[in-house]
Amino acid sequence: MAKEDKITPGNKGPEKDDSIVEISKTLLEQDPLVRTVNKVISDGVEQRASDILIEPLDEQVQIRYRIDGILYRYLMLPKQFQDGVLTRVKVM
Protein backbone atom coordinates (compact mmCIF):
# COMPACT_ATOMS: atom_id res chain seq x y z
CA MET A 1 0.00 0.00 0.00
CA ALA A 2 1.45 3.35 -1.03
CA LYS A 3 1.88 6.00 1.62
CA GLU A 4 -0.85 8.15 0.02
CA ASP A 5 -3.35 5.25 0.23
CA LYS A 6 -3.09 4.76 3.99
CA ILE A 7 -6.04 5.91 6.05
CA THR A 8 -4.93 8.46 8.61
CA PRO A 9 -6.90 10.91 10.75
CA GLY A 10 -6.61 13.55 8.02
CA ASN A 11 -7.23 11.08 5.18
CA LYS A 12 -10.51 9.16 5.36
CA GLY A 13 -9.67 7.03 2.32
CA PRO A 14 -10.46 7.35 -1.35
CA GLU A 15 -14.16 6.37 -1.31
CA LYS A 16 -15.51 8.09 1.82
CA ASP A 17 -17.87 11.06 1.96
CA ASP A 18 -16.23 13.23 4.62
CA SER A 19 -19.48 14.90 5.69
CA ILE A 20 -21.17 11.55 6.38
CA VAL A 21 -18.14 10.28 8.29
CA GLU A 22 -17.98 13.44 10.42
CA ILE A 23 -21.72 13.42 11.21
CA SER A 24 -21.67 9.72 12.13
CA LYS A 25 -18.56 10.15 14.24
CA THR A 26 -20.10 13.10 16.09
CA LEU A 27 -23.32 11.20 16.84
CA LEU A 28 -21.40 8.18 18.07
CA GLU A 29 -19.18 10.25 20.32
CA GLN A 30 -22.22 11.90 21.94
CA ASP A 31 -23.94 8.65 22.93
CA PRO A 32 -23.09 7.80 26.58
CA LEU A 33 -23.45 4.07 25.94
CA VAL A 34 -20.98 4.20 23.06
CA ARG A 35 -18.54 6.20 25.18
CA THR A 36 -18.89 3.65 27.99
CA VAL A 37 -18.19 0.67 25.71
CA ASN A 38 -15.26 2.49 24.10
CA LYS A 39 -13.86 3.26 27.58
CA VAL A 40 -14.24 -0.38 28.67
CA ILE A 41 -12.29 -1.52 25.62
CA SER A 42 -9.59 1.17 25.82
CA ASP A 43 -9.08 0.54 29.55
CA GLY A 44 -8.86 -3.20 28.87
CA VAL A 45 -6.16 -2.62 26.28
CA GLU A 46 -4.35 -0.19 28.57
CA GLN A 47 -4.38 -2.72 31.43
CA ARG A 48 -3.22 -5.47 29.03
CA ALA A 49 -6.32 -7.62 29.48
CA SER A 50 -6.34 -10.76 27.38
CA ASP A 51 -10.15 -10.99 27.60
CA ILE A 52 -13.03 -8.64 28.31
CA LEU A 53 -16.02 -10.54 29.64
CA ILE A 54 -19.54 -9.10 29.49
CA GLU A 55 -21.69 -11.21 31.78
CA PRO A 56 -25.45 -10.72 32.07
CA LEU A 57 -26.57 -11.36 35.65
CA ASP A 58 -30.09 -11.30 37.12
CA GLU A 59 -30.21 -7.56 37.88
CA GLN A 60 -26.97 -6.19 36.42
CA VAL A 61 -24.40 -6.64 33.68
CA GLN A 62 -20.91 -7.39 34.98
CA ILE A 63 -17.83 -6.49 32.98
CA ARG A 64 -14.58 -8.16 33.94
CA TYR A 65 -11.03 -8.25 32.60
CA ARG A 66 -8.76 -11.28 32.50
CA ILE A 67 -5.25 -10.05 33.27
CA ASP A 68 -2.45 -12.59 33.63
CA GLY A 69 -5.03 -15.35 34.00
CA ILE A 70 -6.90 -13.67 36.85
CA LEU A 71 -10.40 -12.20 36.48
CA TYR A 72 -10.91 -8.68 37.85
CA ARG A 73 -14.28 -6.96 38.14
CA TYR A 74 -14.18 -3.71 36.21
CA LEU A 75 -17.73 -2.40 36.06
CA MET A 76 -21.32 -3.22 36.99
CA LEU A 77 -24.05 -1.73 34.78
CA PRO A 78 -27.82 -1.73 35.28
CA LYS A 79 -29.60 -4.54 33.42
CA GLN A 80 -31.33 -2.00 31.15
CA PHE A 81 -27.99 -1.36 29.39
CA GLN A 82 -27.41 -5.01 28.46
CA ASP A 83 -28.95 -4.92 24.98
CA GLY A 84 -27.25 -1.64 24.09
CA VAL A 85 -23.82 -2.84 25.20
CA LEU A 86 -24.14 -6.12 23.32
CA THR A 87 -25.41 -4.34 20.19
CA ARG A 88 -22.50 -1.89 20.31
CA VAL A 89 -19.97 -4.70 20.59
CA LYS A 90 -21.61 -6.50 17.65
CA VAL A 91 -21.43 -3.34 15.53
CA MET A 92 -17.71 -3.06 16.17
Mean pLDDT, all residues of the chain: 78
pLDDT tens digits for 40-89? 999 999 999 999 999 999 999 999 999 999 999 999 999 999 999 999 88
Whole-number Å distance between alpha carbons of 32 and 18: 24
Of the two residues 19 and 91, the one the predictor is more confident about is 91
Buried b (16+ CB within 10 A) or exposed e, 16-30: eeeeeeeeeeeeeee
Whole-number Å distance between alpha carbons of 30 and 9: 19
* Angle at CA of residue 89, ends 84 and 92, nearest 5°: 125
Amino acid at 19: S
Q: What is the mean pLDDT of residues 26-46?
A: 81
